[in-house]
Amino acid sequence: MRSSSSEGRTPPSGGRKVIVVSLLILLIGGLALYFRFNSRFTAFAGSSTAAQVDVPRTQPLSTGSLSETIRLTGSIGAERFQMITAPQLMGLRSAVAVGNVSTTTTPSSTPSFTPANTSSFRGAENRFGDRVGNKAPPSTPYSPPSTAGSVYYSLASNQSLRGSGASDFNLTLLKLASPGSRVKKGETIAEFDRQVQLLRLDDYKDSISQLNDNIERMRSDLQTSRKAHDHVIFAAKSALDKAQLDVKTAPVRSANEVEKLKLAVEEAKARYDQVIKQAALLEASQRAQLQGAQIDREQGRMEYDRAQRNVNLMIVRAPMDGIVVLQTIYRGGDMGPAQQGDQLYPGRVFMQVIDPRSMLLNASVSQVDAQRVRIGMKAKVHLDAYPKAEFPAHVAGINALSKISYRRPNFKGDIDVRIKLDAIDENVIPDISGSADVVIENEDAAVIAPRSAIFSANAGGSPYVYVQTPTGWQKREVKLGVASNTQVAIKSGVSKGDVLALAEPGPHR
């Protein structure tokens, strides 16, 4: 009984050894698995050197063409185009008389002649009594001439002239070419309401005809009045001659009659001089009246020409072959392309006619990068509407001044750049967005490496790479060339086929 109990309390020495050996086997197997699957110890498992590093990825070098580009964005436009604006109409805006000649003109001093009454000294003893008989001398046949006047005054007072207010010069679109349509030079692309201007044209034409008739009538009346005034002068001269002849009868007259005859001579001479002086004034007045009527006629002709010009301008014709592009205008509190029924202001741009054979990408570049862009540089244009299409182009123009960008601080600005497409394509239409990759520098047959394979100790340090060799990774300094966003050309230090590390190797073990 004693021996059996002691055997159950104390294990034999052979079992302990089995347990220790099992634990050691498990520990060695775990270490073997750890070293087997850890890349730090398997990178150079077959190498005789003790240096082992961690290199996750590599890239072999190749040769090819590499370009350094700057991407610019903008929209498509035309190099050659014509802006179509609403016409500027000319003419009187208010119903006022043209000219300063009234409808009737009366001289301030009407020439008149009344010969001296000699009946008081008529008698049978007067041998000159037959000259001063009961028949009175002829009265003055003069009456003021009628003038051509202002036809516009009468037309305006009768509301016969159209366009008597600014509202009659409104520009309302009646016809408009469809956007995107192709037109030929001389074709009608827009038409404004011309009804009022056509009525004005007819009114001015009639007014000019009336003015011409009135001027001819006025010339006839003035000639008649001139003849009548000549008759007045002749009558005054005859009265003076008669009075002078009567004075010669003084020897047979009494003293009182002689004095009366002398006074009659003085009176007749004064009136004759007065009529002579009035002749010059009347001539000047007649010329002024005629000139005023002619001025009215010339102004009428001017307004007629203006109305004719307005009528012609309100039919807009294409100035060149091209495509119609409607412009955005302010209409009824909203912005939109011009359309029929819109009322435009004079000089407002509402359409373009573009030449599709010469298209541009109107882009902008930051003033920081603008110094690298030069006229003539090659570019490749991509359109957002056609992502797979690519169009060759070149830089055609660079603005000299920058424009302030409202999306950037005030000390930064953008400079406009025009990029002309070298190929003609019907898909390239105005106002679609796109981008251009401008080639700043290009290098052919260059050794190309990814940018992630280039390292440097600091920002200004020399670049270097890690090249894979049979004995491990070798660090080499290189000289770089043209670089893109993802690749860089290496001028010296490596050659085609070399394998570079894309990440800097880990520490040595």
Predicted confidence (pLDDT) per residue in 209-255, tens digit: 888 888 888 888 888 878 888 888 888 888 888 888 888 888 888 88
**The model's pTM:** 0.56
Domain 58-64+444-501 shares a fold with domain 70-79+352-442 = no
Beta partners for residue 414, in sequence order: 366, 403
The runs of H, that is alpha helices, within 174-254 are: 195-247
- How far is Cα 182 from Cα 25, in angstroms, rounded to an integer? 90
Q: Identify the top-confidence range among 3-12, 46-55, 109-118, 207-216.
A: 207-216
Token digits of residue 284: 């000047």
Predicted confidence (pLDDT) per residue in 315-346, tens digit: 999 999 999 999 888 877 788 888 888 889 89
CATH architecture of 70-79+352-442: Beta Barrel (2.40)
Predicted confidence band of residue 143 (pLDDT cuts 50, 70, 90): very low
Q: Where are the domains of the chain?
A: 2-37, 58-64+444-501, 70-79+352-442, 94-172+191-314
Dihedral angle sign, alpha carbons of residues 436, 440, 444, 445? negative
Token digits of residue 386: 């056609």
CATH topology of domain 58-64+444-501: 2.40.420
pLDDT(148) > 50? no
Torsion of CA 187, 193, 198, 201, to 10 degrees: -90
| 379 neighbors 419 (Cβ within 8 angstroms) | yes
Residues 6+ apart with CB under 8 A from 254: none
Helices and strands counted in the chain (H then E)? 5, 24
- How far is Cα 51 from Cα 508, in angstroms, rounded to an integer? 6
| 453 neighbors 403 (Cβ within 8 angstroms) | no
- How far is Cα 226 from Cα 145, in angstroms, rounded to an integer? 9
